[in-house]
Structure 1
Amino acid sequence: MDPPPPPQPPQFSLIPPSQIPPPQQNSNPNIQPDSIPNWDQNPNLTHYLDLSVPKKRRRGRSQRNSALFRSPLTLNASSNNDLSSYAITSSSSSAAVAPPVSFSSIRNPPPSLTQSSSAYDFSDEIIMINKEPKTEAMIALSAGFPADSLSEEEIETGVIPVIGGIEQDKTPTEPSKPGVIIIGAGLAGLAAARQLMRFGFKVTVLEGRKRAGGRVYTKKMEVGSRVGAVAELGGSVLTGTLGNPLGIVARQLGDVLHKVRDKCPLYSVDGKPVNPDMDMKVESAFNRLLDKASRLRQLMGEVSVDVSLGAALETFRQVYKDAVNDEEMKLFNWHLANLEYANAGLISHLSLAFWDQDDPYDMGGDHCFLPGGNGKLVQALAENVPIFYEKTVHTIRYGSDGVQVIAGSQVFEGDMALCTVPLGVLKKGSIKFIPELPQRKLDGIRRLGFGLLNKLCHSCWWSPVDCFSGR
């Protein structure tokens, strides 16, 4: 069999010089080449500009300052009484409480809110939450969990029934609200099931596999009668512990997270380490070009929507003559591939305007793993949750009179359904919705992308270890 052809470098259409406006052509005098515009300076930019400078996808851990998360001051009351919270409207010196707003409105403000000319920084309030135990815990959920320890409210809104020997489970013994059928027993389905049960809903979870956890699956690598190691065949690393609900669950379980080392050496195809000086040079150039792309986005405004990130980076690489020889270009392509891995898409398909729009919601802190595997989290979340395994759902009928969820020859009826299946299942059309989903949802399913990661796990012959994996 002939060996596969070597991978070809990505091809980009360079940006014509005529489309790169110089600073003096900037139509907004509030945007300067060396400044980052915010909502106060230019509220109209919120539709196509990120809330912060693009985060550089460096090797090792990534950290984000909570002060970069900005949200409008004015929030309207929501009619959703089940999932409601309170928005802080005061400065960091006081704690006035506004009418309830939906959690989703705080986390993802609609366009009517993002057009507000006022900007509000939640970072001071996040610090205040650590000091004021009576502050509504849902504010912490919306702006990111506090960085230090659990408060009473966080424990009560958590998912583990017992912590420190004190019973925290307040799930009603008899459901008092309508029935909800949850499709999928992954982390999303399990967390939703526990929260809805606490709200008094009657919950039934249908899972197609023989196990819970979905894309989180801890494989025990047994050596004789003992477990030599565990391998995460799915999600393995907690990418940031500040604001990460899984970090909260781990602390509730009393588990200690182990930090993933920052060092990430690169090796060439012959197995030799990459020259550290050249490695640092190319990495610095890559990060500098990302900064250049960010400045270009500011200057181009809405026009940057139609320009790809790949075209911008390649244009600047040629202009500034970075990564000119073969060895440097191989390293530069590694950074491009790492960027594509982080965004689950080709950079030639990523919009210069929107490629990093989710960065304000990234979680800061160290990247960590849980000794013994993330299966511990799944086991705790699934405790006392009614789950029907090997029930592969293929049809969901819904209407004003309730829902029918069909798995094989069985029909499950309820008042409403919550679908938490993976995006790939929805893309494949494995589940038929009657009536068909709204066009906006179908368009979202079609446009969203996801990445593929192959893992190789070797059986260990040495003494038991916490975790063993590679990719």
Structure 2
Amino acid sequence: KLRQSMIEEIKSVDVPLGEALETFRLVYGVAEEPQERMLLDWHLANLEYANATLLGNLSMAYWDQDDPYEMGGDHCFIPGGNEIFVHALAENLPVFYGNTVESIRYGSNGVMVYAGDKEFYCDMALVTVPLGVLKKGAIGFHPELPQKKRDAIQRLGFGLLNKVAMLFPYNFWGEEIDTFGRLTEDSSTRGEFFLFYSYSSVSGGPLLVALVAGDAAERFETLSPTDSVKRVLEILRGIYHPKGIVVPDPVQALCSRWGQDKFSYGSYSYVAVGSSGDDYDILAESVGDGRVFFAGEATNKQYPATMHGAFLSGMREAANILRVARRRASSSSSAASNPNQSCINKEEDDDGDEEEDSCLDQLFETPDLTFGDFSVLFTPNSDELESMSLLRVSIKVESRDWLYGLVTRKQVLELGEMEGDELRNEYLREKLGLTLVERKSLSQEGESMISSLKAARLNRQIFD
């Protein structure tokens, strides 16, 4: 009741949770004895672990806004690790490894995703990157995300939790122990290896994981892995050597560095001072009239900072995407308002040559260069003389109105300087040894270039 009445008072003037707790501790004389203070510090470190940040960063009013939705049941270790869920969910899905998304362009006609030298066109896109990536601005959005969403991204916190996983030659801490904690007299280091998890029962080996939370998690990232492992061994030996138990060196050790990971820039979200649960809802909103959607733990107000929260947000957005797709499919007004949209804005069907020819006709409605009966489309975004160009030549033989071929930009310029189409055709045959072909006989390189041209044209249309 005391806390609830205080929250009603401070909603308009939020304060840090850590500041409020320390004030209460001093006013009510809590944990004045050294042992009591050590125990309190451990629980405060555990709270910083749960929220992935210092208590001084948490909103007193809203830090635990998700508590009413908390699921019941025990916490469990999963044999094989959480990756078994990821592999199952990703089964039969195409995954493009090594393609880091740099920017996303969206508009009324679709979405273009840029990853290095690759471009992906889609009707809709789902963004699931961690909040830390959005806060860092690692992905450019064009047009910019709405101001309301950008403000929510900045208000919400994205914190840090780190771990050291150590595989030992044998289990020295006891097979019956799942977890154990460590107290310290120094409040400033309360989060340093304060909690240990034993994975022996599920990993198939003597695996021990040490957690680093709060201020200690940030300092941890400034140390080398060697120094970090050395420090955790000092702590373990301080616990077990007085009991006559020898702590061996680990066979292998791994240290996380989530704050430095360019695909995360942190661990999970928290409600910072000045933020509230409403910011999770704002992050979950789609943009571009149902073109770009957002999922991930930082978009789930009920279950933030959890794996199940991230999973449920994905299910939520899958339903939203399906709803929008059905709405568009049933909308006759969209097709009527833009009847020429056709193949550049949609996937090609396997209905034969007519639709393929129609696609190509649209591309050549605005060629990059024409001379005589020759039309040319250059490789998008390249001025190199050796870059390839798609050549189309008009002929008047029965039903074959057009023939195609691939030449370099330099060869196109040479063709353009010649007098008359007869000389140009002779140049193609005699000097280049090129045989012009029908649309259906184009090489794989030609088809690939047509796809690139379509994507480039679509990119322009999105912003028209």
TM-score (norm 1): 0.35
